[in-house]
Amino acid sequence: MTESAAGPSGPGTVVLELGPGVGALVLFTPAELDGREIEISRSDAACEAAAVRRTHSQVRPRHTVSATKYAAVYPDLAAGPYTIWADSSRPAGQVVIAGGRITNWNWPA
C-alpha 11, offset from chain centre: 18
Cα separations (Å) of 31 from 18, 34, 36, 68?
27, 5, 10, 9
Per-residue pLDDT at 45 exceeds 90: no
Kindly report, residue by residue over 74-91, the tens digit of the pLDDT. 999 999 999 999 999 999
Number of C-beta neighbours around residue 13 at 10 A: 10
Which neighbouring-strand residues pair with 31? none
Kindly report, residue by residue over 14-43, the tens digit of the pLDDT. 667 788 999 999 999 999 999 999 999 998
Q: Do residues 27 and 93 make contact, with C-beta atoms less than 8 angstroms apart?
A: no
Kindly report, residue by residue over 48-76, the tens digit of the pLDDT. 554 678 999 999 998 888 999 999 999 99
